[in-house]
Amino acid sequence: MQYLPTRLLWTIPTLLGVLLVTFVFIRLIPGDPALLLLGDAATPQAVAELRREMGLDQSVGVQFSRYVGQVVQGDFGTSVRTRRPVLGEILRVLPYTLQLAFAAVLIGTAIGIPVGIVAALRHNTTLDYVLTSVTLLAMATPAFWFGILLILLFSYQLNWFPAIGVGRSSDPLTLLAHLTLPALAVGLRNAAGLARMTRAYVLEVLYMDYVRTARAKGIAETSIVLKHVLKNAMIPIITFIGLEMGILLGGTVVTETLFARPGLGKLMVDAIFSRDYAQMQASILFWAILYVAINLIVDLTYALFDPRIRYD
């Protein structure tokens, strides 16, 4: 088992790089956190004072070494807006982000892969054209518009699901009910992308020699598709799902805003608008950690589908 420790060691320079790049780039954005915090009523003296207290009068180099020193000790700093530790803020929104990302990937996979397979098996038929048009349309639909359509139908007209909020943790059913519309908004668009991917890869494998051999042996069509075709097309599909998952963990800010849900994406965007440096850095670093972890999991799952891949 040499593979895992080596991979894990390699994440350290990756994350350090993320830390450095975000630290520098965040400070390149024009705008002054002290000024935004103090608002219009701020006197220049008050701004200068607050900048000094926030350590912003130091050079970026000094600020960075100080920051890394703190991070190594597990201290990611305090948000200038809330005056609370930024790590706590991240952990507070993380459950909602994970719920949404998992639910969306689940919906995406459950719908996208079957649709893709059907389109591939019936390629160049009317059914295929219909499915292709629908998936293209879904991919081209902006998230906020699709979300509003869902709210209009399921919340406003039918009153099946609440449009806004996340429900109460004490009652998991309310959590699920609040999760449904945002998860559909993200998940259905995901399903479209996945269906296109699946169609392309299944189609590619479908005419391989070993499939023809399997057919010649008289194996049932279902078995051919699931055991031979899909299993071989699975590696790019898994990669795609992993990438989507990574993006969803931080990139669903539009959906979060629309449905009044907390989440990592919204936390980052709010932090950017108020130039909340500590919150931005920690959130981006956290997102990077999740991304790296998902990539690792994806790599490890390859072995499940392709016995030639072994990690030892």
Partner 1 sequence: MKRTPASVITLIALILLGTAWAQQGQVLRVRLLGEISNLDPAFLTTVHDQFIANNIYDHLVGFDPETSEIVGELAESWEVSEDGLTYTFTLHEGVHWHKGYGEFTSADVRFSLERILDPATQSPNRTYLEAIQSIDTPDAYTVVINLSEPSAAFLANLAYRAGWIVNEGAITELGTGYGTDPIGTGPFVFSSWQPGAELVLTANEEYFLGRPQLDEVVFVPIIDETVAALALEAGDLDLAYIRDGETASQLEQNPDLVVRSAPATRTLSLMLNSQRAPFDDISVRRAVAHALDREQLVQAVGGLGFPAHAVIAPMFFGYTEDIATYPFDPEKARQLLTDAGYTEPVEVTLFYTQLSPWPQLVPVIKAQMEAVGFQVALDGLEHGTWTSERRNGDYDFTVHPLTRPPDPDFVFSYAYHSEQFPPGFNLSYYDKSDELIEQQARELDPDVRRELVQQILQQISDEVTAVPLMYGDATVAHYEYVRNHPIATNNDFDAYPIYLERD
Quote the DSSP letter at residue 85: B
Residue numbers 220-239 binding partner 1 by CB under 8 A: 226
Which C-beta is closer to partner 1: that of 23 or that of 161? 161
Rounded to the nearest whole angstrom, what is the least distance from the CB of residue 48 to partner 1 in the complex?
9
Which C-beta is closer to partner 1: that of 279 or that of 292? 279
Token pair 């320079």 is found at: 13
**Closest-CA residue to 230 (of 254, 208, 248):** 208
CA-CA distance, 89 to 263, in Å (whole number)? 10
Rama region for 225: left / alpha / beta (φ>0; ψ in -120 to 50; rest): alpha
| 244 near partner 1 (CB under 8 A) | no
Which C-beta is closer to partner 1: that of 15 or that of 118? 118
Rounded to the nearest whole angstrom, what is the least distance from the CB of residue 296 to partner 1 in the complex?
22
Q: Which amino acid is at 38?
A: L
Residue numbers 46-65 binding partner 1 by CB under 8 A: 46-47, 49-50, 53
Rounded to the nearest whole angstrom, what is the least distance from the CB of residue 34 to partner 1 in the complex?
9
Contacts of 263 (CB under 8 A, 6+ apart): 93, 96, 97, 100, 252, 253, 256
At what angle are helices 172-206 and 143-150 packed, to 10 degrees?
130
Rounded to the nearest whole angstrom, what is the least distance from the CB of residue 310 to partner 1 in the complex?
25
CA-CA distance, 153 to 4, in Å (whole number)? 48
Q: Is 50 helix (H, G, I), strand (E, B) or coil?
A: helix
Q: State which of residues 17, 31, 142, 172 lies at the interface with partner 1 (CB under 8 A).
A: 31
Chain-centre distance for alpha carbon 164:
21
Residue numbers 159-198 binding partner 1 by CB under 8 A: 159-166, 173, 176-177, 180
**If DSSP states are collapsed to H, E and C, what string results for 69-82?**
HHHHCCCCCECCCC
Q: State which of residues 11, 15, 36, 122 lies at the interface with partner 1 (CB under 8 A).
A: 36
Contact in structure between 37 and 81 (CB atoms under 8 Å) = yes
Residue numbers 95-114 binding partner 1 by CB under 8 A: 96, 106-107, 109-110, 113-114
Which C-beta is closer to partner 1: that of 37 or that of 200? 37
Q: State which of residues 240, 263, 286, 295 lies at the interface with partner 1 (CB under 8 A).
A: 263
| 260 near partner 1 (CB under 8 A) | yes
Q: DSSP for 159-175?
A: --S-SSS---TT-HHHH
Residue numbers 271-290 binding partner 1 by CB under 8 A: 273-275
Which C-beta is closer to partner 1: that of 267 or that of 294? 267
| 81 near partner 1 (CB under 8 A) | yes
- How many residues can be counted in the chain? 312
CA-CA distance, 65 to 70, in Å (whole number)? 9
| 297 near partner 1 (CB under 8 A) | no
Q: How many chain residues are in contact with partner 1, going by CB under 8 A?
A: 66
Q: Radius of gyration of the chain from Cα atoms?
A: 24
Q: State which of residues 11, 14, 15, 32 lies at the interface with partner 1 (CB under 8 A).
A: 32
Instruction: Write out the residues near partner 1 by the rule CB under 8 A.
Output: 29-32, 35-44, 46-47, 49-50, 53, 78, 81-84, 89, 92-93, 96, 106-107, 109-110, 113-114, 144, 148, 151-152, 155-156, 159-166, 173, 176-177, 180, 226, 256-263, 266, 270, 273-275
